[in-house]
Structure formats: structure tokens, C-alpha cells
Structure 1
Amino acid sequence: GRRGGGPVSRFGIGGLREAFEEAEAAGLAPSELELARQLLGEEELKAPARDALDRASTSSDPVHLEAAIWEGVAVGLHMDEIEEWRRRFHAHVALEEACQRRSVAGLSAAIDVGKTAGLPAKELSAAAALLSDELKRIAMSRLEEALNSRNIPKLKVAIEEGKAAGCTAAELVDAEAALREEQRRDQARIRLEGATCSHDAAEIESALEEGRAAGLSAEELGPAEARCLQVRQTAALEALEEAMRDRSIPALRAALKEGKAAGLSGYALAHAEAVLKEEKEKLVARADLQAALASRDLEELRAAVARGRAA
């Protein structure tokens, strides 16, 4: 019988022989068995030719194939069957070449042709394993390229291709971590961009903290830092002006502290410090006057009044 999975008759020689033996055992007349005996004899003559074609179809040797074809023609194999063996031979050669070249497209096409041509499962499995290895090699290369680029779209595509190619979690972990980091940076950039238009120093500072935590560069943080300083200085200046109008010592002290922290110029601070000095002197004078009034000491009272006028 044939070793391969090539073209077969309806029953094959084994089935035909079994059917003949059963009919003979059942006592059918010789005349009824004659046609079956003739067919069995023909098939037994054809069996070696089919075996030769089976071997030739996976030999990669066209001379061997042609010799087997002539042998098949000589014993009466139908041309349709011979053409199927020829297709299997060409599919085998194409698959061998594709395996040598390791081209993904070539391997995929050759495997499909091989399946249609009826190549042995073992041969197709070996080519499929090679295709899988090649897909994984390409996926790993693209993962490395995407990891070096830190480009979000490239990382996403490379990770998906890696999963499809059968990369392990350990092989994907670096790219997935890089993707999360870059997505965080991207969101931090968007938030910082919005913060440059904000009038809320706390909001800007929060965006800056996230940007620093995400690893943004000093250049990327710069515009928001400048905006934060501007907003803080504006708020500090307004607080100084309000404190100078109210002339409240606690408010002046708080406004001066904030103004210094915000980096206000010396002129703005000097004016507020002068007002604070005046208010502190007035506070001392009031206290002295109250003490003098309480003591009812005329000299002390005159001195307190003089200090009050000076303040």
C-alpha cells in the first residue's frame, strides 16, 4: 500500500482486496468475481508506481519525479492522478524553498498550497513551526525598536503583534512598562499645557508635581513653572496692596512673607515694609499712651503724646 496521503481510488487497494476476499468467502460465482479479480490485479500493478510517486513527490528531485511519472503512465495511472502527484511535488519544493528563505509571506503561501496539495502533516507542521518562530523573531525585533523609540503608537502595535506571535509575559513586560510610562508623560504634558492658562497657583503646582513624577524634562516643565511664578507674584502683589490699604500688621506680615516666597521685587516689598514699620510704631505709641493714662503720670503722659505724634 501507499505510505503517503496522495490520490486514492474510492476504496484503495486494501479495501478492494478485502471486498474481493469477502465476496469470494461468501461463495459468489467465479463469473461475478472476475471483474473484481481484474481490478485487483490492475491495482496491485499500480501500487509500486504510486509508492514511487509518493517518494518522488517529497524528494525535491525533478528527475526522480519524471521517472516515477513515466512508471505510473506505464502501468495505466490516470493523468488526473499523476497531475495531483506533480502538484504535490511542486508544493513540496516551494515549501522547502520558503523554509530556507524564512520569509513570512512565502511560508504562509507555501503552507496553504501544501495543504491543498495534500503534503504530509509532519512536513506542514515543521513549516508552521518555522513560520511561528519567524513571526516571533520579527515581533521581538519590533518590540525592541518600539522600546528604543518610546513612541506610544509603535509600542501599542508592537505589543499587540508580540501577543499574536506568542511572546511571553516576560518578553512583553519592558514594552508594556514603557507604554504606561509614556502614556503617563503624555497625560502630564496635556495637563501642563492646560495649566499654562490657569489662574490657580495650586492647580498649576499640582500639574507640575505630576509632570516631575512622570519624568518630564526641565524644558517641558518650564512654561508651567513660569506661569506658576507669574500667578503667585500677581496674587502676592494683590495681597500686599490690600494689606497696605487695611494697614493690618498680621496681614502685612503674611503678605510680605508670601511676596518674598514669590520673588517679588525689592520696591514692592520695601513699600509694604515701610507701612508695617509705621503700624508697629503706632502700636507701640498706643500702648505707651494707654499706660501713661493708666498711671496718671503727667510727665509720662507728655512723653507718650510726643511719641504718638512722631509715629
Structure 2
Amino acid sequence: MSINPNEGTYAQVREASQAIQDKLGQVRPVIGLILGSGLGDLADQIQNPIVIDYHDVPHFPVSTVEGHAGRFVVGELEGRTVIAMQGRFHFYEGYSMKKVVFPVYVMRELGVKTLVITNAAGGMNRNFRAGDLMLISDHINMTGASPLIGPNDPELGVRFPDMSQAYNREYRVLAKKLAEEVRDDAGQPLVLQEGVYCGISGPAYMTPAELMMLARVGGDAVGMSTVGEVIAASHGGLKVLGISCITDMAIGEELEPLTHEQVMEVANRTKPKFQALVKAFVRQVEV
């Protein structure tokens, strides 16, 4: 693995965050939202939005995946000032893991204390159904990489960050309480699953044998994002709430062919439940 010691440094974080802050003026976000495949429409509900394209931010890559707009949206959501990423970066796009997580450090520099990270994922737990939401309680990093490999910049975080509460326990308790108040179109309560997310490098979907292995080691859902961002958030001292939209069932013994279009279709169908839960969390979380 080739490490670029000049990539993702605090100096670059400062330059990127200053460029964003210059566009924000006196606006200071306190909650960050990373919106996964098919879930970016939540940013369209932000009031008095300030939109900043990634290509206007120094040292930023561009998002190349269908369903990822590639921009920040900053403004008011449920009475709180938020910064939302409409589109994230992925390891499988060819970016280094340091580049993938660069926005996490930039949001931290802008004043964000709380990070809501979402994704589309395949469900490996037989109790799940496509269209469920899963609260992430923990993760297993199967990407073979970490954003912290290489020289450590103490301005960004400690050399050996603790990961025992990578997904904040109090946030999970609050999310479960709020889920009881959310109703779907038929007036039924939201069923919020909880489980372990397995992060893989992608971009190929997993084989049946690989899925059976991940399920046996404790995985409940599998996807191609999130773990690097959460490691960076822990490194930087941010509190994280993680939510997966279960877009398909990834049961190794019963695996069916899958396309990105199918993933997007289920994510789009699940948007109202997802948005209601995230908005309730933004409204009530203490930051």
C-alpha cells in the first residue's frame, strides 16, 4: 500500500474548511449528515440552503456514483444548523482511504460535533426485510484498509483512537425511542432493526460464500462505505449515529442477482421512513 504523507493533513483540512466557511459567512453547522445512495433527498428539505459543490473545495475529490449529487448543503433542519453531504466518496472509486474520509475532518473543523452517517446495505440477518432501517451498533472493517495508516497528525486526533463506542450508545437509545413515534404511510410504527455493519471494499457484490462467512462472524448487513468515515470520526472525537437502509437481502445460501438500480429503487421507497427518523433525531439530540 502506497501512503502519501502529504494527503489529508491538517493544513489541507484547514484550507478546505476555510474555503467553505468563506461561503457560509456567520453560519456554523453543529450536525453533519452523510447521505448514502438514494437518501440524498433529505438535503432538499434544508431551509435557507447554501450549496457548495465539491469541486469548489480545495483538496476534495468528486463523487462519481449514480445517486450521489456531489455537494454540500448547509442550512436549517428542524431548527438546527446542519451540513449535509449529498454524495460521499468510496474506496472502490480509486480514492485512498484518507481521501474518502477527508470530509469528516473538514466538517469537524467547521464545528460539527455530531455526525449522522447513512448507507444502503444488504441484509444478512434473516430477520430483516428489504426496506427495513438498521441502527448500526458496531462494525467489522473488511476493506483491508484504514484512513489512519501512515503518519499521525495530532491536530486531527490521537495515534491510537478508542473504538469501543464508535457508534454512540446514547444516540442509539434516542434513535430507538424516536423510532416508536415514527409512522409509515399506513400509520404503522417504524420497525428499526439493530445490528453490525460489515464494510467491504467493493465494487463487486459479494459471493454467496463470502456472505455466509460474514454472517457467521457476526455481520447483520454489508455495504461499501461507512467504516472508514466512522474510524475518522472516532479519531477526531465526533459522536456518530449510523443508519443503514436495507435495500436487498444478502443471504448467501439464497442469493439472487442484484443491480445498483434495484438498490436505488428500494432506497427511494424507504426515504420517507428514513427522513422522518433522521429529522426527529436532529430535532432532539443534544450537541
Q: TM-score, normalised by structure 2?
A: 0.17
Rg larger for: 1
Which has a greater percent of strand?
Answer: 2
Work out which structure has the larger RCO, using CA pairs closer than 8 Å and 6 or more positions apart in sequence. 2
Higher relative helix content: 1
